[in-house]
Amino acid sequence: MRIAMWSGPRNLSTAMMYAFGNRGDCAVADEPFYAAYLAMTGLDHPMRAEILDSQSQDPETVAEALLGPVPEAKPFFYQKHMTHHMIPGVPRDWMRDVTNVFLIRHPARVIASYAVKRENPALEDIGFRQQAELFDLVRSWGQTPVVVDSHDVREDPAAKLEQLCEAIGMPFSPRMLIWPKGGHKDDGVWAAHWYGAVWSSTGFAGAEGPLPEVPDELQPVLEAAMPYYEQMRAAKI
């Protein structure tokens, strides 16, 4: 089974990858389209040169690998994807052959977290529009995509991950609730910049508190993202 987990940045996505990666029966891939995205857009992200050197920059080659032999011949293959990487020119047909799951988080939390690492994120940076478009695309193929809210995972990791596994037809493993400190062997090269908090963790952080305040200059981004989030939230498990 191949699981494509679609989220924006700062959305519990790395912790979820660690959860699946710690099962023992599940290979993982960390943002395989990142280098292709940077090469195609010319954007200047932190560690750009290192990222371009670490992955294929050809999106067709990446897509073929995602449907190719599973690393270490494991029965499950968890693929962590960023929705904003799926720009025009990045293939989508391969998504027909995987189980598509959408990981959502309230935009206020995403914006507040992202702004700490990279100033003044725009709507295109945080992936909500692209996530809703991919969700609609998968539904147009007759699939019923699974949606899980990161808030619910943090509130009760065991219950929500068990429910997620059931929804995608995968046995739950208690090993998904813990992982060793220091990251995963398949982390992307950019982990040194972005993954500090999760590297020091051994499991999911506790339940989230009240929504953070979003600065006035980022209110338009919040307002633009909310309709996409609400659309996805209506379909969550």
Query: What is the DSSP track for 111-131?
Result: HHHHHHHSSS--HHHH-HHHH
Go through 194-217 and write b for each residue having 16 or more CB atoms within 10 A of its CB, e for each that does not.
bbeebbebeebeeeeeeeeebeee
Nearest to 235 by CA among 154, 157, 134, 122: 134
Q: pLDDT at position 113, please?
A: 83
pLDDT at 174 over 90: yes
Portion of the chain with pLDDT greater than 90, in percent: 88
Residue 119 has pLDDT above 80, yes or no: no
pLDDT digits (tens, 9 = 90+) for 57-89: 999 999 999 999 999 999 999 999 999 999 999
Average pLDDT over the chain reads: 95
Beta pairing partners, 27:
77
The pLDDT value given to residue 114: 79
Q: What is the pLDDT of residue 171?
A: 97
pLDDT score of 115 more than 80: no
pTM as predicted: 0.95
Contact at 8 Å (CB) between 83 and 130? yes
Looking only at the bridges linking them, the beta strands covering 2-7 and 146-149 are: unpaired
pLDDT at 14: 94
- Average pLDDT on 39-44 reads 95
CB atoms within 10 A of CB 53: 11
Does 217 have pLDDT greater than 70? Answer: yes
Say how far residue 215 (Cα) sits from the centre of its chain.
25
Neighbours of 192 (CB within 10 A): 14
Taking only the tens place, the pLDDT of each residue in 133-172 is: 999 999 999 999 999 999 999 999 999 999 999 999 999 9
Check residue 116 and give its pLDDT.
Answer: 73
Strand order in the sheet with 76-82: 26-30, 76-82, 2-7, 99-104, 146-149
Dihedral, 70, 74, 76, 77 alpha carbons, nearest 10: -30
Task: Assign a CATH topology to domain 2-233.
Answer: Rossmann fold (3.40.50)
Residue 56: which residues within 8 A CB-CB, separation 6 or more? 35, 36, 62, 65
Tell me which amino acid residue 138 is. Answer: V
> What is the reported pLDDT for 197?
86
Query: For position 194, what pLDDT does the model report?
Result: 83
pLDDT of 117 > 70? The answer is no
> Torsion-angle region of residue 39: left (phi > 0), alpha (psi -120 to 50) or beta?
alpha
Task: Please say whether the beta carbons of 199 and 183 come within 8 A.
Answer: yes
Distance CA 172, CA 64 (A): 28
Q: What is the pLDDT of residue 142?
A: 96
What is the residue whose two structure tokens read 């972005």?
A: 194
- Residue 118: its pLDDT value, please? 65
Q: What is the per-residue pLDDT for 193? A: 86
Beta-bridged to residue 76, according to DSSP, are: 26
